[in-house]
């Protein structure tokens, strides 16, 4: 998890791209924490599209008096990804999980397929 505040408006989750694994980051909960004001707190997810252009998508608009938390049901993201407090002063806590899935060796799969065909 991480916390976004007026002084720390963004957090970037990065992985080592040379570890031969696929990474899944799932965002499960975004909530206001102690000290939050009754103002709109907008949290964005910033990533890159297929053309490597930066895109920002709002995922939560929290307000203490009407919606202090939001369940995102393990919203899956592809790292690297940045979480940004686009409006408000927080503090906003983000919680989720990170899973590493080992990639299969492509050359091993090709050899395996060839032996099945033979």
Which two structure tokens, joined as six digits, stand for 85?
Answer: 């407090």
pTM score over 0.85: no
Strand order in the sheet with 2-4: 2-4, 92-102, 21-32, 69-77
> For 52, left (φ over 0), alpha (ψ -120 to 50), or beta?
left
Q: 2-102, superfamily in CATH?
A: Nucleoplasmin core domain (2.60.120.340)
Between the two ends of the chain, the Cα-to-Cα distance in Å is 50
Give 105's pLDDT tier (boundaries 50, 70, 90): low
Task: Domain ranges for the chain, please list them.
Answer: 2-102
Please state the rounded mean pLDDT for residues 67-82.
Answer: 92
């Amino acid at each position: 998890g991480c916390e976004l505040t007026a002084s720390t408006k963004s957090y970037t989750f990065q992985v080592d791209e040379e570890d031969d694994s696929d990474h899944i980051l799932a965002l499960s909960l975004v909530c206001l924490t102690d000290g939050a004001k009754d103002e709109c707190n907008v949290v964005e997810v910033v990533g890159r599209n297929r053309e490597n252009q930066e895109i920002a998508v709002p995922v939560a608009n929290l307000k203490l008096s009407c919606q202090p938390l939001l369940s995102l049901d393990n919203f899956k993201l592809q790292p690297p990804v940045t979480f940004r407090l686009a409006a408000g002063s927080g503090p906003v806590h983000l919680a989720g999980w990170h899973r590493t899935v080992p990639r299969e060796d492509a050359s091993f799969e090709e050899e395996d397929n060839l032996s099945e065909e033979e």
